[in-house]
Amino acid sequence: MAKAPKTQFVCNSCGYRSAKPLGRCPNCQAWNSFEEEAPSVVAPAGRGGYGGVSGGKLTPLSSVGRREEPRTSSGVPELDRVLGGGLVAGGVTLMGGEPGIGKSTLLLQVADKVAASGGPVLYVAGEESLEQIRLRADRLGVTAELQLTRDTRAEHIAALMQEHRPALCIVDSIQTVTVEGEGAPGGVAQVRDGTSMLTRAAKETGTSTVLVGHVTKDGTVAGPKVMEHIVDTTIFLESVGAFRLLRSVKNRFGQAGELGVFEMRGEGLIAVENPSAAFLAERPVDVPGSVVAATVDGQRPMLLEVQALASKTPYPNARRVVVGLDPRRVDVVLAVLERRLDLTLGGLDVYVNLAGGLKVPDPGLDLAVALAVYSAVVGRALPQNVAVFGEVGLAGEVRSTQMALRRAEEAGRAGYQRLVVPPGLEGHAGVKSVEEAVGAVWRGTEHSRAH
């Protein structure tokens, strides 16, 4: 006799499953977040098939046709970059971000651009009244006609998509969408089934759909993890000082890891077309400890400033303070400087900062850290037209980095004619060690850009 399926309890915050209800979720630490989930019944396998059902039709890969997914520009170039070229017909995008960071603002701007180009836009307002959306639209200068609704029932939203066939559907937010008979709004089953129903409707109607998702305290999208597997693209909007960074962490229609940069202003989110110039705008001139580094964040090359400061410590043990970089990699670079360059750091507090508020775990910043610390200790500023990148090994060697050519091109586009780089980069004489890098910076000619 077959055993009856067991009841499971699911955390409505992160989707963690347990055989019994728990007061606190061991995965996300949320209190009183477990809800009972009805067990699924699977028919037993019978003779000649699984549960008496025969297998489906098989299709050879060679007989499957090739089809390029049609794309439509969102009207915002930085968003198009992150999406891999624009909105895909029938594609579903999940956008996450902290409350008040600008998700609704950005999407309302996109809705205006798409509607102005002739495509009808359906905007599902689950968290705000229609009057609030009108006020934001007036502030942003939205002039296109948008179709608004406060009906958050998934079945009704899908029906509206079938009836009106909009070019773009924005659901703000997916946690407010309800499915009949699936429990309280925002629960695991509601979010999962609502996402599945809207995704199916988007595929059937060819509607580009954007779902806004809440985030948990650790910055991940709230709700079951299966929601991120259902959608085609997952992007996150995060705040860095006065800038907003839009990152793609999953993209079935393009390359994940793309980065878009925006600046928050009174008229909305404004795309920053040259992030390197924006992040280097306040860089001090002729100050020891300041180095321009060519780095890569995701798939986007940028120029950032690495700063270092060394001061005599009043404490028995010298302090090491690192902001925006990997502290362990900085410790390795400091050890290499002491061992290979005989640079005395034992009695000095060393502070290393990646200016601008970014956090970039890029090994290619090692050489910039080494030169910044050396510059701060000896009190010599680097020439203004020098940019550097490269990974530093324990033997003091300078190693190659990923996307080296794109880093060099970005530095050249920004006007930095002298590059201190690892060996092997075409068109550039490289440095093999940290000692050579130090000599290349202050001698000025041996390792300047080849012409």
pLDDT in tens, the chain (451 residues): 455 556 788 877 677 788 888 888 888 777 887 877 766 555 555 555 555 666 678 889 888 887 777 788 999 999 999 999 999 999 999 999 888 899 999 999 999 999 999 889 999 999 899 999 999 999 999 999 999 999 999 999 999 999 999 999 999 989 899 998 766 666 777 888 899 999 999 999 999 999 998 876 666 666 656 788 899 999 999 998 889 999 999 999 888 888 999 998 888 899 998 999 999 999 998 999 999 999 998 889 999 999 999 999 998 899 999 999 999 999 999 999 999 999 999 899 999 999 988 899 899 999 999 999 999 999 999 998 999 999 999 999 999 999 999 999 999 999 998 999 999 888 788 899 999 999 999 874 333 333 2
The Cα-based distances of 431 to 389, 408, 420, 424, 447 in angstroms read 11, 14, 7, 9, 7
Kindly state the greatest CA–CA separation across the chain: 85
Q: Does residue 14 fall inside a structural domain?
A: yes
Tell me 271's DSSP state. E
pLDDT of residue 51: 59
**Whether 224 and 84 share a structural domain:** yes
Q: Does residue 48 fall inside a structural domain?
A: no
Task: Look at residues 132, 129, 82, 131 and name the one whose alpha carbon lies nearest to residue 110.
Answer: 82
User: What is the C-alpha separation between 102 and 321, in angstroms, rounded?
Assistant: 32
β-strand partners of 37: 8
Point out the annotated binding site for ATP.
97-104
Pair type for strands 348-354 and 320-323: parallel
Task: Look at residues 392, 385, 382, 406 and name the one whose alpha carbon lies nearest to residue 302.
Answer: 406
The count of structural domains within the chain is 3
Q: Does residue 49 fall inside a structural domain?
A: no
β-strand partners of 148: 123
Query: Who's near 379: CB < 8 A, 6+ residues apart?
Result: 288
Alpha helices in 188-292 (DSSP H): 188-205, 226-230, 275-279
Q: Does residue 58 fall inside a structural domain?
A: no
The Cα-based distances of 376 to 288, 290, 373 in angstroms read 5, 8, 5
User: What is the C-alpha separation between 384 and 417, in angstroms, rounded?
Assistant: 10
**Whether 352 and 404 share a structural domain:** yes
Q: Does residue 44 fall inside a structural domain?
A: no
Tell me 417's DSSP state. -
Q: Does residue 451 fall inside a structural domain?
A: no
**Whether 15 and 27 share a structural domain:** yes
**Whether 142 and 267 share a structural domain:** yes
**Whether 283 and 215 share a structural domain:** no
Continuous segment of H or E residues that includes residue 94: strand 92-97
Instruction: Answer whether 230's CB lies under 8 Å from 189's CB.
Output: no
Q: Does residue 59 fall inside a structural domain?
A: no
Alpha helices in 280-382 (DSSP H): 327-340, 366-378
3-state secondary structure of 191: helix
CATH of the domain at 325: 3.30.230.10
Point out the annotated binding site.
97-104
3-state secondary structure of 6: coil
The residue type found at 88 is V
**Whether 332 and 190 share a structural domain:** no
**Whether 213 and 265 share a structural domain:** yes
**Whether 86 and 177 share a structural domain:** yes
User: What is the C-alpha separation between 426 and 306, in angstroms, rounded?
Assistant: 25
Residue finishing a domain among 273, 296, 315: 273
**Whether 301 and 388 share a structural domain:** yes
**Whether 378 and 285 share a structural domain:** yes
**Whether 214 and 349 share a structural domain:** no
The Cα-based distances of 337 to 5, 185, 319 in angstroms read 63, 57, 16
Q: Does residue 171 fall inside a structural domain?
A: yes
User: What is the C-alpha separation between 442 and 451, in angstroms, rounded?
Assistant: 20
pLDDT of residue 220: 66
**Cβ neighbours of 98 (radius 10 Å):** 14
β-strand partners of 263: 243, 270
Tell me 23's DSSP state. S
Residues in the chain: 451
Domain that holds residue 31: 7-37
Residue finishing a domain among 273, 292, 314: 273
Residue finishing a domain among 252, 273, 294: 273
**Whether 221 and 281 share a structural domain:** no
